[in-house]
Amino acid sequence: MKLSVLTPAFNEAANLAALYQQLAPALEALGPDWEWIVVDDHSRDTTFDVLADLAARDARVRGVRLSRNCGSHTAISCGLHLASGDAAVIMAADLQDPPQTLRAMIERWRAGAQVVWAVRRTRSGEPAHAGFAALYYWMMRHPVGMKEIPERGADFCLVDRVVIDALCQCPERNVNVLALIAWMGFRQEQIEYDKRPRAAGQSGWTTAKKIKMVVDSVTSFSSFPIRACLMAGVALIAGGTVALLAGLFLLPSLGAGVLLLLGMVTALAGVQLAALGVIGEYVWRALDESRRRPPFLIEAVTPANTAATLLHGR
């Protein structure tokens, strides 16, 4: 058995060596052959230099650097294309996901699970992120309708080789890889763990990236926004009709009726613009997919590896 551990990294130079010191003993204690693939998402610090040093000292460490900053989910996709293990674990570089959790995940996998989610029991040190995450996962489970996603969310998981191969057949560019794993089905199980505070540095998970992830997640798996615009349009038509009748027959002042009518027209115009924006998001993503540009390009690999063994996106 061989286990691949995939870690997307953006400006994580301060954490990678410490993660390796915890990860390597944990994997060796479990017994399987293993590899650690770190995808440097075009960091601005010395992340790739740290990777090169780790790879020079341990051939099981494989590092690649993307040619541009593509986001963590594209980095995860790159790592999945490079993984050679019978299963792969997706875990962050900031030491929030303890390597000791791997034992329980591997046990569930050996027992027959093809996807094992490590679900957060507690989340220390990130109250703002926790609130956003709770809202996001509620939205994905209810309006979008993806009940397969863990209720409390999970971005730390193990996937079987069958799942990896299926993921590599999905050439989508603007997609949440973790939501795609949940959507694909297979035999999925959960364990619980306590998420730690970030060890060092600042998270690259900006508000803009969060908004993009929400839009990508919704548009990839649901037509709910388009239907919501339709329902809002019908409601506003009904409301405008009521306001018009009230202004003409019920209100004693003609001016009050005009103000009501103007308010409804303005609201209707706002809904129309919002609906155009929603449709535009879907159209843009369709155009982006039709170009068939590779979702990632590899700029460099760590010296211990050769470019011939690595893929260059699809």
- The model's pLDDT over 69-128, given as tens digits with 9 standing for 90+, comes to 888 888 888 888 898 888 999 988 888 888 888 888 898 998 988 999 888 776 655 555
Do 98 and 246 lie in one domain? The reply is: no
pLDDT of residue 314: 36
- Domain range holding 76? 2-204+293-309
51 vs 129, more confident? 51
Confirm whether 212 is domain-assigned: no
Residue 187, pLDDT > 70, answer yes
Q: Which of 24-28, 35-39, 57-61, 169-173 has the lowest mean pLDDT?
A: 169-173
The verdict on residue 276 lying in a domain is: yes
Same domain, 48 and 125: yes
Give domain status of residue 182, yes or no. yes
Contact 41, 126 (CB under 8 A): no
pLDDT by residue (tens digit) across 8-44?
988 888 888 888 988 888 888 887 788 899 999 888 8
Same domain, 285 and 251: yes
* pLDDT > 80? residue 265: no
What was the pLDDT predicted at 259? 62
Same domain for 11 and 147, yes or no, is yes
Beta bridge partners of 50: none
Residue 49 has pLDDT above 80, yes or no: yes
Q: What is the pLDDT of residues 204-261, one digit of tens each?
A: 556 666 676 677 667 666 667 777 776 777 777 677 666 666 666 665 555 555 666 6
Residue 218, domain member (yes or no): no
Q: What is the mean pLDDT of residues 185-190?
A: 86
Q: How many domains does one find in the chain?
A: 2
Please, what is the angle between helix 207-221 and helix 254-291, to 10°? 80
Q: What is the rounded distance in angstroms from the CA atom of residue 204 to the CA atom of residue 69?
A: 11
3-state secondary structure string across the chain: CEEEEEEEECCCHHHHHHHHHHHHHHHHHHCCEEEEEEEECCCCCCHHHHHHHHHHHCCCEEEEEECCCCCHHHHHHHHHHHCCCCEEEECCCCCCCCHHHHHHHHHHHHCCCCEEEEEEEEECCCHHHHHHHHHHHHHHHCCCCCCCCCCCCCCEEEEEHHHHHHHHCCCCCCCCHHHHHHHHCCCEEEEEEEECCCCCCCCCCCHHHHHHHHHHHHHHHCCHHHHHHHHHHHHHHHHHHHHHHHHHHHCCCHHHHHHHHHHHHHHHHHHHHHHHHHHHHHHHHHHHHHHCCCCCCEEEECCCCCHHHCCCCC
- Tell whether 238 and 300 lie within a shared domain: no
- Mean pLDDT across the chain, nearest whole number? 77
pLDDT at 88: 92
Identify the CATH number of the domain in which residue 157 sits. Answer: 3.90.550.10
What does the pLDDT read at residue 309? 43
What's residue 308's pLDDT? 36
